[in-house]
């Protein structure tokens, strides 16, 4: 197996486990302390804001490559086995769901219309 294949498999597992952590945080069988940690990890994984901005050379990806996988690993290790299995199954199902090109188009149109209104408003405000 090539190193690239190994890295791709690792990245897929991390992605699946990040979604599984989200589902586990919502499961009532998950202990409260672990729910809090799982919500924090899932929110950080899905958040566009990073602890260390990505534009900083080398350090910018440190949180993505080390901190996030370590947090996910910790939650996965502490989860009860049945909760982990069910959460991974839900994550696999969610990640295999087909994506809608039409829905993506609607979102893009909404952003363009919103940007147009913002531009119009900025021109109107600066003109008065």
Q: Are residues 65 and 43 in the same domain?
A: yes
120 φ, ψ to 5°? -60, -45
What is d(CA 126, CA 128) in angstroms, rounded to the nearest whole number?
6
Say whether 50 sits in a helix, a strand or coil: coil
Look-up of token digits 């839900």 = 90
pTM for this predicted structure: 0.64
Q: Are residues 39 and 61 in the same domain?
A: yes
Helix ranges (DSSP H) in the chain: 3-25, 32-46, 62, 68-78, 81-96, 101-127
Q: Are residues 91 and 48 in the same domain?
A: yes
Q: Are residues 51 and 82 in the same domain?
A: yes
Q: Are residues 52 and 29 in the same domain?
A: yes
Q: Are residues 58 and 111 in the same domain?
A: no
How does pLDDT run across 95-120, given as a tens digit for each residue? 887 777 888 788 889 999 999 999 99
Q: Are residues 59 and 115 in the same domain?
A: no
Q: Which of 67, 38, 36, 39 minimizes the C-alpha distance to 51?
A: 67
Q: Are residues 10 and 59 in the same domain?
A: yes
Provide the residue range defining the domain that includes 128.
Answer: 99-128
Q: How many domains does the chain have?
A: 2
**Which pLDDT score, from 0 to 100, does residue 128 have?**
60
83 φ, ψ to 5°? -65, -45
């Amino acid at each position: 197996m090539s190193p690239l294949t190994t890295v791709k498999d690792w990245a897929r597992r991390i992605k699946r486990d990040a979604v599984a952590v989200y589902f586990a945080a919502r499961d009532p069988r998950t202990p409260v302390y672990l729910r809090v940690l799982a919500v924090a990890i899932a929110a950080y994984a899905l958040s566009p804001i990073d602890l260390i901005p990505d534009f900083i050379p080398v350090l910018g990806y440190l949180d993505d490559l080390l901190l996030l996988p370590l947090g996910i690993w910790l939650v996965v290790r502490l989860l009860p086995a049945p909760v982990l299995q069910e959460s991974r199954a839900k994550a696999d199902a969610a990640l295999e769901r087909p994506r809608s090109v039409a829905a993506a188009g609607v979102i893009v149109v909404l952003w363009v219309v919103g940007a147009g209104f913002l531009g119009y408003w900025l021109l109107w405000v600066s003109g008065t």
